[in-house]
Amino acid sequence: KNLENVQGDERDVILFSIGYGPDKDGKVSMNFGPVNQDGGWRRLNVAVSRARKEMIVYSVIRPEQIDVNRSRSEGVAGLRGFLDFAAKGSSALSVRKSSAVKTEGAAFAGTVAKALEDIGYTVRTGIGRSDYKIDIGVVNPDDPGTYLMGIMCGSESGFELTNARDRNIVQPSVLAGLGWKIVNVHILDWLDNDLKVLEYLNGEIGKALAAYREGEPVQQEEAPKKRELTFEKEESAESEDSHVYVPFVPEVIGDQAYFSDMSSTSQIKRIIEAAVEWEAPVSREVLLHYVLAAFGMKRSARAEQRFSEIFDGMDLKTTQRKDSVFVWRRDQEPSEYSEFRGAAADGSKRKLDDIATEEISAAVMYILTVSISLERAELIKETAKLFGFARTTETAELAASMGIANAVKNGRAKIDQETGRIMYAE
């Protein structure tokens, strides 16, 4: 058998031979036949996943002899990665963050999806339009407009996240709030015994379907695992995709007397500019709070007047929602804004009046990326929860409704005319 005709064959033990090697001068050509061709990495992925229990690799080429800088082929990068894994085991995987890793992760999700389809399930892969994708969604056979369960395979979505907290904490909390049951599948478990993992997934899907039919909440269980692969990037508080609100912390620079003195005007402007640079879009009210904190002051009519005189005299980029004014950085375009910052891990949150409509709209779209469609009331509820509000108050409903309206107006979301459900616009 070779790469091109091995598909469909499986054995407990596979002997895998690489028929390429150095020339008489010890040089290795980066031409590996079908592996170099478009989609060659898929052929390689099929070949290396034929063994149920064990694969023995024969090769005169060492991993380090394959120079991925000399070839643009994803298949060549995948071959180098495979030989690394064969030689070093899982330690070779824990530090790899190249495009080859992304490609192999996506291929793994595709392999699992195909196996589920083969036993009768309807699935979709890469659910979501942002970096926060669910690798596999199992469609509910009783309600094809919804998903029964999500499966995370450690594919591209995980590598694309700017920090690990988003994938491990923020994203799961949103999914759980939307009623998703999430199961994790690890590639080494699959390679060790794919039938056992498939049996586990089949059982979990069965439980989820039974719970759905009984109208009970689905309980999530941890997948059995022997080893976990983690691919984490260093966490950064300044990550644009962190989805966690990190407030600006002003330095105390004076007292009330100094604040009232005209000589402090330039300092007050600098505080406003620094806060805008840190957390725009930011409301005028929050900026006032930061300025007063920098001078150790409490709110008063005189302090507000002094702040207003300075604020109104600055050339700031602003938008407005009713009585709330929001300040943006010069490089931000409100109509294209697609980020949001939810409640912090410690539960601290902003008032909804201090969150720009465009940011609320971004949160709405984030929720819609992990759900085919939602009733308006449910979408409002989940949007409020994302910003840390357990109860949907009148203020929360109004703010979320404006966010939804903004998303529809900009063509990002649409309303189903028959059901009234809100969905991601294709």
Q: Do 385 and 405 touch, CB atoms closer than 8 A?
A: no
Domain 336-424 bears CATH identifier 3.40.630.10: no
Cα dist from 344 to 170, 178, 242, 280, 348, whole Å: 10, 19, 10, 17, 5
Question: pTM to 2 decimals?
Answer: 0.48
How would residue 158 be classed by pLDDT, with cut points 50, 70 and 90?
very low
Write down the CATH superfamily of domain 102-214: VSR Endonuclease (3.40.960.10)
Strand partners, 183: 151
Q: What is the predicted pLDDT for the residue at 124? A: 86
- Predicted confidence at residue 328, as pLDDT, reads 95
CA atoms within 13 A on the CB side of 222: 5
pLDDT in tens, 48-98: 777 778 889 999 988 888 887 777 777 788 888 788 778 776 444 443 443
Residue 169 half-sphere exposure toward CB, CA atoms < 13 A? 13
pLDDT for res 301: 93
pLDDT digits (tens, 9 = 90+) for 96-135: 443 344 445 567 888 899 889 888 888 888 776 545 567 8
Which is more confident, 181 or 317? 317
